[in-house]
Amino acid sequence: MSGGSGRTVVVLGGGVAGLTAAMELAERGFEVTVVEPSGWGGKARSASVPGTGTGGRLDLPSEHGFRFFPGFYRSLPDTMRRIPLEGSSSGVEGNLREAPQMLSARSGRIGETVADVSLATGPRTPLQILRARGMRLGAEGELNEELLYFANRMLVYMTSSAERRLGQWERTSWWDFTAADGASEEYRKVCVVGATRTVVAARAEVCSAHTVGGFLEAFGYGFLGRGEAQAADRVLNAPTSTAWIDPWVRHLDRLGVRLELGWRVERLRVRGRAVVGAVLRGPGTRRREVDADWYVCALPVDRIGALLERGLAEADPELKKTAGLRTDWMVGLQFYLTEPTPITRGHVIYQDSPWALTSISQAQFWDTDFRATYGDGTVADCLSVDISSWDTPGILYGKPARECTRAEVVAEVWAQLTDALDDGRRRTLHEGLLHSWHLDPAVRNLDGPGPATNDEALLINTTGSWELRPTAETAAVNLFMAGDFVRCPVNLATMEGANQSGRAATNALLRAAGHGGEPAVVHALYEAEELRRLKEVDAALYRQGRAHILDTPPPWSCRTGDSRFSTTG
């Protein structure tokens, strides 16, 4: 590809953000090339376990972590609807299936709850949402003062102005916002730690209340039936690449997008305020340079650092701030079972697991006969588990996951699952079910030598990190940023955020190019109109340096001078 026509674009990175930008730009007549070193779809792609398929069956499927599509996702489903799929009037969105239940599993099954989150049930009440948290209540199931205080925290966030969210809650940890100090272990486990570790793989002590509060707000509106009428939780009907990424890549090819796999950007060449070329490294020692009129950098945040010293910071010195962003591990482990084991019709959150486990039984949602399609003919189900805490000692070996061997990680996860799912009378999981397992190969060195590493770490939104995150537009006249770390309405490292960033990069490029076409829609999160006036009042209070009108100390603490109740805290 050669620049000069004003229509050529190189997209660096073929994850969700990069593929989104490529699709939006190709639809508007640009000549797009996407270069990707590892695999189309990035962290969203699925893979397989080599050599496990026999008798004409496919190899057993694996994922970096299970996929789910919450009801507040709007931009990503719009993209999926526009990816053609034979026999589906809604494109690959037609491959989504509702997950109508959510199980909060507890040790020994004592106090577990199953929440009906199906669309057919209709709107729910805030009281139902609170009970669905899975917090162990009194004998009569009454809401105790801690759960009521958690309701207060959510109401405070939902009625906070945009100014307070960015000015105060962005700088306040979720731990402090929820007043975890002095609360019971049960409250901290379910309402504080559980809200971060099992969803965004971040410690409550460092994750911002702006991020966690916004995520729970979006989920809550979905469960309340507010916003678009779509299921609160959806999953795919096949492995991610089969159901979504592969059809997407074929569609891009039909649009004329040039897709180059196996090439990694090594350096940007910058002249003045413009990028004039990108040096790529391919298989072995092969190198080449590409040039274009426009560049979209859609690399993961953990790959940005190496490029900063190789042209990226020269293009825009402000991008050096991204070096302050932090990542953590959220890793997928698949258990292949010899019998169908649908623990529940949806996701399971293991509230008492030290490693912050979540899982889903996949075969029940897939449109194929698992046993006849995958493996050696004896595997009937895949229990897909996400491990979100790698620094907490486990219950079997007393070691954090980072210090375990791969086999010890697997045994420890199995032990934590059975601790929650077995009560001494019922055994949901037992050794006879286990055919084999597969732990994400992006985690390296668990068996030594040296410390364990993760090639697919996930951005976590620590307090104050919003200021470190770039916008889609940069100081370079022809360089734009995309990725789940780029500022967008979904303030969380998700596929929705990656998709929104690809759309934002498209729009910034269109403005720079003087393109007269319709911009890509970056969907805003739902806001309740009846709370608008309260937000306006709060904006005025915040400008005066006063606390939120509903913000009160927790009932277990009468401390004064708490930083949570001051805009300067």
Confidence of residue 220 (pLDDT cuts 50, 70, 90): confident
Distance between CA 461 and CA 196 in Å, rounded? Answer: 10
Average pLDDT of the residues in 364-388: 97
Q: What is the pLDDT of residue 137?
A: 52
Residue 256, CA distances (Å) to 23, 35, 366 in order = 10, 14, 31
pLDDT tens digits for range 349-371: 999 999 999 999 999 999 999 99
Distance between CA 179 and CA 374 in Å, rounded? Answer: 48
> What amino acid is encoded at 176 in this protein?
D
- Asked if residue 239 has pLDDT above 50, the reply is yes
Residue 540: count of CB within 10 angstroms of its CB: 11
Task: Say what percent of the chain tops pLDDT 90.
Answer: 79
- Asked if residue 529 has pLDDT above 80, the reply is yes
Distance between CA 53 and CA 376 in Å, rounded? Answer: 6
Q: What tokens appear for 425 in the block?
A: 């009378």
Residue with tokens 């732990």: 439
CA angle, 245 then 77 then 128, to 5° = 125
Q: Describe the strand order of the beta sheet including 381-387 as a list of residue ranges.
A: 113-116, 101-105, 346-350, 357-361, 381-387, 331-337, 434-439
Q: What tokens appear for 178 in the block?
A: 């929820």
pLDDT tens digits for range 465-493: 999 999 999 999 999 999 999 999 999 89
Q: What is the pLDDT of residue 569?
A: 38
- Asked if residue 141 has pLDDT above 80, the reply is no
Average pLDDT of the residues in 184-200: 83
Confidence of residue 126 (pLDDT cuts 50, 70, 90): confident
Q: Share the mean pLDDT of the chain.
A: 92
Q: What is the pLDDT of residue 43?
A: 93
Please answer whether residues 402 and 452 qualify as being in contact, where contact means their C-beta atoms are separated by less than 8 angstroms. yes
pLDDT tens digits for range 491-501: 989 999 999 99
| 126: preceding bond cis by omega (within 30 degrees) | no
pLDDT tens digits for range 265-296: 999 999 999 999 999 999 888 999 999 999 99
Please, where are the H alpha helices in 260-387? Answer: 301-307, 313-315, 370-373
Pairing state between β 443-444 and 453-454: antiparallel
Q: Is 334 exposed, middle or buried (0-12, 13-18, 19+ CB in 10 A)?
A: buried
Confidence of residue 119 (pLDDT cuts 50, 70, 90): confident
Distance between CA 257 and CA 193 in Å, rounded? Answer: 43
Distance between CA 104 and CA 437 in Å, rounded? Answer: 24
Q: What tokens appear for 173 in the block?
A: 């940890």
Q: What is the pLDDT of residue 195?
A: 76
Q: Worst-scoring range by mean pLDDT, 74-78, 166-170, 215-219, 434-438?
A: 215-219
Distance between CA 393 and CA 399 in Å, rounded? Answer: 4
Q: What is the pLDDT of residue 134?
A: 59
Structure-model confidence comparison of residues 560 and 362, the more confident one:
362
